[in-house]
Amino acid sequence: MKRKHTLIIPLLAMLAIHFAACGNSKNSQTTAGTKAETRSNVEVPAFHADSAYQYVKTQCDFGPRVPGTQAHRDCGEYLVQKLKQFGAKVYEQPADLIAYDNTILKARNIIASYNPDNRRRVLLCAHWDSRPYADEEKDKAKQQKPILGANDGASGVGVLLEIARQLQQKAPAIGIDIILFDAEDYGIPTFYRGNYKPDTWCLGSQYWGRMPHVSNYNARFGILLDMVGGRGATFYQERFSQRTAGKYVKKIWEAAHRIGFGSYFPKESGTEVTDDHLYVYQLRQIPCVDIINYDPNSDTGFGDFWHTHADNMDIIDPATLQAVGQTVLEVIYNEK
């Protein structure tokens, strides 16, 4: 009899503490000034789309960021300097990469780490180079000129720079690495008549996957942003991400719907896309979700401006940058 009591009393005490703690964590207080919301008790910073928009424009003002050009070198310097200004530990990873036509590309991946000693990490990435061709233009003469890549390249980087600015002001519970991959967009053009070569896209992420900035680099998951600034964009669930990072696809799409951006994030499948997230998963076994514009009504699936000269600042909408940026913040500030 006596023995039973000594067990039951601590058990009841533990239950009481447990219920008291749960009551608090569900934000069920009715005190004046407390928001009547039930999802989480972390404050997620507000994403500033006007800042992100400026970061997209600044990249475009350098001109096309094609590896080997002065605009590419200058924009690389700008990105490194900006990430340092935002308090990150910045790694530069220069590499000579071989393109589909054997051109040697003077590339550099740029990596910005926040809270580098935390073992719990999330990876955010985008490509910062722009395509040397406009090979989706109908007019052949226009195909040989490089594109500005406001959406295809600069938009993802613009969102990540604004996130870096937020990370400096308030640290989330986990460590974050922002990786700006180079030489994503130098893949075989439609007009090429030479021999096929595999894996000609995403050269920067392939290099990083084999040669990460720190040995044995790992992260819980990654988020890749590609073409995240177009007016009227829709982010269907990319199929490789669904298959290899399904749990994180759900987490991200649920976050978007919870904060009111559901119309940008249909909970439906898009296509499968060859993009940097493939190599993050295949070479480092880090599940990585590609948030990428999918337009079911365009011929290419990526929208009519894709790999054309229409991919300039005219098609960038701060509202789209806001939907994506705020969703990513919602996800990373809720990680424990």
User: What is each CA distance from 213 to 6, 46, 294, in whole angstroms?
Assistant: 55, 30, 31
Region of 123-131, 204-212, 312-320, 322-330 interacting with Zn ion (CB under 5 A): 123-131
Q: How far is the CB of 292 from Zn ion (least distance, A)?
A: 10
Q: How far is the CB of 300 from Zn ion (least distance, A)?
A: 10
Smaller CB distance to ligand AHN: residue 276 or 317?
276
Q: How far is the CB of 227 from Zn ion (least distance, A)?
A: 8
Smaller CB distance to ligand AHN: residue 114 or 305?
305
Smaller CB distance to ligand AHN: residue 273 or 286?
273
Give Cα 190 to chain centroid, integer Å.
27
The residues, ordered by sequence, that sit 6+ positions from 100 with a Cβ below 8 Å of its Cβ are 186, 187, 188, 192, 194, 197, 200
φ, ψ for residue 180 (rounded to 5)?
-100, 105
Among 185, 238, 290, 311, binds Zn ion (CB under 5 A): 185
Residue 274 site contact among Zn ion, ligand AHN, none (CB < 5 to 8 Å, cut-off depends on kind): ligand AHN
What DSSP letter does each residue of 139-199 carry, written as one string? SHHHHTSPP--IIIIIIHHHHHHHHHHHHHHS--SSEEEEEEE-S-S-PPPTT--S---S-
- The answer to whether 159 and 319 are in contact (CB under 8 A) is no
- The answer to whether 129 and 184 are in contact (CB under 8 A) is yes
Question: How far apart (Å, rounded) are the C-alpha atoms in residues 148 and 151?
Answer: 9
**Chain residue at closest Cβ approach to ligand AHN:** 274
Region of 12-20, 43-51, 139-147, 149-157 interacting with Zn ion (CB under 5 A): 149-157
Question: How far apart (Å, rounded) are the C-alpha atoms in residues 128 and 305?
Answer: 18
Q: Is 276 in the site for Zn ion (CB under 5 A)?
A: no
Question: How far apart (Å, rounded) are the C-alpha atoms in residues 181 and 80?
Answer: 13
- The answer to whether 230 and 293 are in contact (CB under 8 A) is yes
Residue 275 site contact among ligand AHN, Zn ion, none (CB < 5 to 8 Å, cut-off depends on kind): ligand AHN
Q: What angle do CA 321, 106, 104 make, to 5 degrees?
A: 120
**Which residue ranges make up the site for ligand AHN (CB under 6 A)?**
152, 185, 201, 226, 273-275
Residue 55 site contact among Zn ion, ligand AHN, none (CB < 5 to 8 Å, cut-off depends on kind): none
Smaller CB distance to ligand AHN: residue 273 or 323?
273
Q: Which residue has the tokens 């499968």?
A: 272
Q: Which residue has the tokens 């993802």?
A: 156
Q: How far is the CB of 252 from ligand AHN (least distance, A)?
A: 18
Q: Is 136 in the site for Zn ion (CB under 5 A)?
A: no
Q: How far is the CB of 91 from Zn ion (least distance, A)?
A: 25
Smaller CB distance to ligand AHN: residue 273 or 316?
273
Q: How far is the CB of 197 from Zn ion (least distance, A)?
A: 17
Residue 121 site contact among Zn ion, ligand AHN, none (CB < 5 to 8 Å, cut-off depends on kind): none
- The answer to whether 47 and 325 are in contact (CB under 8 A) is yes
Q: How far is the CB of 255 from ligand AHN (least distance, A)?
A: 23
Q: How far is the CB of 127 from ligand AHN (least distance, A)?
A: 7
Q: Is 152 in the site for Zn ion (CB under 5 A)?
A: yes
Smaller CB distance to ligand AHN: residue 152 or 162?
152
Binding site for Zn ion (CB under 5 A): 131, 152, 185
